[in-house]
Amino acid sequence: MKWLRRHSMLSIAAIMALAAAAAQAEDYPSKPVQIIADSAAGATPDVTLAAKAAPDGYTLYQPVLSTFVALKPAAANVPLQLPRDFLPIGFTAENPMFIAVAPSLGINTLPELIAAAKKNPGGLSYATTGIGRLTHLAGELLQHEAGIKLLLVPYTGGPAHAVGDVGTGRVSMIIEGYSGIAGAARSGTIKLIAVASAKRLADFPNLPTVSETIPDFSATGWAVMVAPRGTPDAIINKFSKDLYDVTSEPDLQQKLARLGSYARPMLAAETLDFVHKQQARWNPVLADIVKTQEKEDKK
**Which of 260, 105, 130 shows the shortest CA–CA distance to 186?**
260
- In the chain, the amino acid numbered 192 is L
**Which of 58, 5, 4 shows the shortest CA–CA distance to 33?**
58
pLDDT category of residue 299 using cuts at 50, 70 and 90: low
Q: What is the mean pLDDT of residues 63-79?
A: 78
Q: Is 4 helix (H, G, I), strand (E, B) or coil?
A: coil
pLDDT, greater one: 30 or 173? 173
- In the chain, the amino acid numbered 242 is D
Assigned CATH for 2-94+221-286: 3.40.190.150
Per-residue pLDDT reduced to its tens digit, 142-155: 998 999 999 999 99
pLDDT at 20 exceeding the cut of 60: no
Intervals of CATH 3.40.190.10 along the chain:
96-218
Domain over 96-218 is classified CATH 3.40.190.10: yes
pLDDT at 266 exceeding the cut of 90: yes
- Longest alpha-carbon distance in the chain: 64
Q: What is the mean pLDDT of residues 116-145?
A: 91
Q: How far apart are CA 82 and CA 78, in angstroms?
A: 12
pLDDT at 22 exceeding the cut of 60: no
Per-residue pLDDT reduced to its tens digit, 211-261: 999 999 999 999 999 999 999 999 999 999 999 999 999 999 988 888 888
Name the average pLDDT for the chain: 85
Which residue stretches of the chain are H helix? 12-23, 44-51, 65-68, 110-119, 134-146, 160-168, 178-187, 233-247, 250-258, 268-298
DSSP assigned state of 64: B
> Residue 58: how many CB atoms within 10 A of its CB?
19
Least confident window among 22-31, 89-98, 191-200: 22-31
Intervals of CATH 3.40.190.150 along the chain:
2-94+221-286
CB under 8 Å to 272, separation ≥6 — which residues?
Answer: 82, 83, 88
DSSP assigned state of 33: P
